Amino acid sequence: MTIPIILDCDPGHDDAIALLLALASPEVELLGVTTVHGNQTLDKTTENALRVLELVGRSDVPVARGADRPLVRDLHVAAHVHGESGLDGPELPMATAQPVDQPAIDFIADRIRPGTVLVAVGPLTNVALYLEAHGTANVERIVLMGGAIAEGNMTPAAEFNIWADPEAAQRVFRCGRPVTMIGLDVTHKALLTPEWADRFRAAGRVGTFVAELVEFFKLYHARTYGWDGAPVHDAVALAQVFRPSL
């Protein structure tokens, strides 16, 4: 029995890998994608989602634009990590599809059905606004990439997705539905190393795209942490949906 999911994301290198994992995993049914500000502006994260879907021949997957800024605070993007496009590094085809003509929160309301898992791998603005407008009916649980039990990556304690919109995060954590937080203490142990990148590259065109994502994404982590590899933060959160033993 497949698990219905809606992926709320801000592509982003690791978001792109999470999206590919969702498409490739028979355990989940991807009902749609919503985009949010975060790793780059909303225009760029939306375009990136559409272009990744174009690359793999899945432009049929609907994409809805969400919030272009946090609930209260000023917008901050992570160009220092993901580059000016949000997906610097690999070449991507131009998207032939357009976002649906519907805001993300209404799109979720139309697509969601009993048992749906909301997988949120960017700032939690869209999820907070959806819960405020439509409540928790049909939301089985929320799995999010964000937070840190120990060291953050924006301040000594704060991780980017939560730091970018803490007011939204507070609403989500208090929503009354089960929330699974996949934080940096977990994802910083899940490195895609050059050896793994070579294995992906040998697998063909999509694998080469993943390897090229890692080549760029690891530059920040080499400078900041001295790592020879890049954490696949958002893919870990996606995988937890159907492999909770992780």
Map residue 21 onto helix, strand or coil. Answer: helix
Q: Choosing from 13, 82, 188, 233, which is the catalytic residue?
A: 233
Neighbours of 63 (CB within 10 A): 25
Local structure of residue 7 (DSSP, 8 states): E
Check if 233 is active-site. Answer: yes
- How many CA atoms are closer than 13 Å to the CA of 129, on its beta-carbon side? 22
DSSP characters for 168-203? HHHHHHTSSS-EEEE-HHHHTT-EE-HHHHHHHHTT
Torsion over CA of 66, 181, 171 and 33, rounded to 10 degrees? 20
Hey, which residues are catalytic here?
233
